[in-house]
């Protein structure tokens, strides 16, 4: 029923029944659109795109089709320019998104917390952040920045890969050309490790790896597998898990306010439910009791390197100045709270 027929039905039903829904209709001033546009970087072959699809389907089902959403993977609404995604959501070029904290961190500096190298440690550490007080604070910052945040998801812990040699020490990275995301902290981290980073979009990364213009990249293993990066020359993976890459489910504020309070609640709960499922998918094969994804990668002929705690510590030392510099940008108080939450985590 559209707005006019609802109003008519209300009038026909008399003042008593009319009053409640007129109130809700006033709260949702703008009419619903036939379709809303949801942005992600990667599609449904990846946990991230799958997590968006789950959200879309839950919303459709639970609103009985009142809210229809179409998925635009490849950040195609902004021609693949992933670090502009947050601004585009704020401006309404994009209605909804499941986005990486990395891609939004140029606009929301606190999101760099998750890109501090060798900081978050493990799944339990990441959960301690996103599911605790730090996560709440960060979502408040996102909300203040002009976008309505609803739930957390996960791209995953990012591992370093390359076509040239095994990486066990910072010295192994010397001079290697890496594609990094267009967020400045990544440039700083790879430079501190003696490598040669180049910022580019995910769309540009794949041909650059194929041609050998860059020799390495960093992404979660699920991305490596679904994008078949071994076919782009990536033969060495070091599981250093240096950066956690959570995702956030968001809606443009005007779109949010155009929905009834009841529908907002449905969309929020659907995002929470989809986010939970997505995190489980993103961790599949990468947990202490199930390392099948690591085995699957090795079966492709890729050399997988696990670091000892001492080896990891050498990387941590090398990037210390980066952590210090970016702690000031993020806010020392937030970083301190995050450190405390990670220290208190229950080890999985």
Contacting positions for ligand X2X (CB under 6 A): 41-42, 82, 100, 102-103, 155, 181, 202, 219, 223
Are 187 and 102 in contact by the 8 Å Cβ rule? The answer is: no
Considering the complex, state which of residue 36 and residue 202 has its C-beta at the smaller distance from ligand X2X.
Answer: 202
- Residue 317 belongs to what H/E stretch? helix 309-318
| C-alpha 114: how far from chain center | 10
**Residues 74, 204: Cα–Cα separation, whole Å:** 11
**Residues 216, 179: Cα–Cα separation, whole Å:** 6
- We find the least distance from the C-beta atom of residue 42 to ligand X2X, in angstroms, to be 6
| Helix-strand-coil split of the chain, %, nearest 5 | 55, 15, 30
Considering the complex, state which of residue 32 and residue 186 has its C-beta at the smaller distance from ligand X2X.
Answer: 186
- We find the least distance from the C-beta atom of residue 195 to ligand X2X, in angstroms, to be 16
**Residues 280, 87: Cα–Cα separation, whole Å:** 29
- We find the least distance from the C-beta atom of residue 105 to ligand X2X, in angstroms, to be 10
Are 223 and 293 in contact by the 8 Å Cβ rule? The answer is: no
- We find the least distance from the C-beta atom of residue 30 to ligand X2X, in angstroms, to be 31
- We find the least distance from the C-beta atom of residue 205 to ligand X2X, in angstroms, to be 7
Considering the complex, state which of residue 223 and residue 279 has its C-beta at the smaller distance from ligand X2X.
Answer: 223
Tokens standing for 250? 């968001």
- We find the least distance from the C-beta atom of residue 172 to ligand X2X, in angstroms, to be 21
The closest alpha carbon to 162, from 142, 138, 178, belongs to 178
Considering the complex, state which of residue 249 and residue 259 has its C-beta at the smaller distance from ligand X2X.
Answer: 249
Helix axes 3-13, 15-27, angle to 10 degrees: 150
- We find the least distance from the C-beta atom of residue 209 to ligand X2X, in angstroms, to be 11
Are 153 and 51 in contact by the 8 Å Cβ rule? The answer is: yes
Considering the complex, state which of residue 223 and residue 319 has its C-beta at the smaller distance from ligand X2X.
Answer: 223
Which residue's Cβ lies closest to ligand X2X?
Answer: 202
- We find the least distance from the C-beta atom of residue 82 to ligand X2X, in angstroms, to be 5
- We find the least distance from the C-beta atom of residue 77 to ligand X2X, in angstroms, to be 14
**Which DSSP string do the residues of 41-94 spell out, in sequence order?**
SS-TTSHHHHHHHHHHHHHHHHTTTSS-EEEE-TTGGGTT-GGGHHHHHHHTSS
Residue 160: helix, strand or coil by DSSP?
strand
**Residues 234, 225: Cα–Cα separation, whole Å:** 11
The closest alpha carbon to 102, from 233, 309, 246, belongs to 246
Cβ-Cβ contacts under 8 Å for 23 (sequence gap 6 or more) = none
Considering the complex, state which of residue 49 and residue 125 has its C-beta at the smaller distance from ligand X2X.
Answer: 49
| C-alpha 348: how far from chain center | 22
Considering the complex, state which of residue 222 and residue 264 has its C-beta at the smaller distance from ligand X2X.
Answer: 222
Considering the complex, state which of residue 82 and residue 163 has its C-beta at the smaller distance from ligand X2X.
Answer: 82
Considering the complex, state which of residue 172 and residue 245 has its C-beta at the smaller distance from ligand X2X.
Answer: 245
């Amino acid at each position: 029923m559209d707005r006019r027929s609802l109003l008519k039905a209300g009038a026909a039903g008399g003042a008593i029944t009319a009053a409640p829904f007129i109130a809700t209709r006033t709260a949702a001033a703008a009419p619903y659109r036939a379709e809303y546009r949801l942005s992600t970087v990667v599609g449904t072959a990846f946990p991230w795109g799958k997590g968006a699809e789950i959200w879309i389907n839950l919303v459709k089902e639970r609103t009985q089709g009142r809210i229809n959403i179409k998925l635009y993977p490849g950040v195609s609404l902004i021609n693949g320019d992933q670090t502009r995604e947050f601004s585009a959501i704020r401006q309404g070029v994009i209605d909804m998104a499941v986005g990486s904290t990395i891609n939004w961190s140029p606009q929301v500096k606190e999101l760099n917390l998750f890109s501090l190298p060798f900081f978050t440690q493990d799944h339990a550490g990441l959960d301690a952040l996103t599911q605790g007080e730090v996560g709440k604070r960060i979502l408040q910052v996102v909300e203040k920045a002009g976008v309505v945040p609803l739930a957390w998801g996960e791209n995953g812990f990012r591992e370093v890969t390359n076509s040239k040699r095994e990486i066990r020490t910072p010295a192994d990275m010397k001079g290697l050309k890496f594609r990094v995301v267009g967020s400045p902290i990544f440039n700083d981290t790879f430079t501190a490790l003696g490598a040669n980073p180049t910022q580019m979009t995910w769309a540009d990364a794949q041909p650059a790896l194929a041609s050998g213009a860059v020799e390495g990249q960093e992404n979660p293993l699920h991305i490596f597998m679904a994008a078949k990066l071994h076919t782009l020359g990536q033969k060495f993976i070091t599981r250093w898990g240096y950066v956690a890459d959570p995702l956030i489910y968001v809606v443009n504020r005007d779109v949010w306010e155009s929905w009834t309070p009841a529908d907002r609640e449905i969309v929020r709960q659907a995002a929470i439910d989809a986010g939970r499922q997505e995190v489980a998918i993103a961790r599949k094969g990468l947990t202490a009791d199930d390392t099948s994804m690591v085995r699957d990668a090795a079966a492709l002929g890729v050399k997988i390197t696990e670091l000892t705690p001492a080896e990891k510590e050498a990387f941590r030392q090398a990037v210390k100045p980066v952590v210090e510099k970016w702690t000031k940008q993020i806010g020392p108080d937030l970083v301190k709270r995050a450190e405390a939450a990670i220290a208190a985590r229950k080890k999985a």
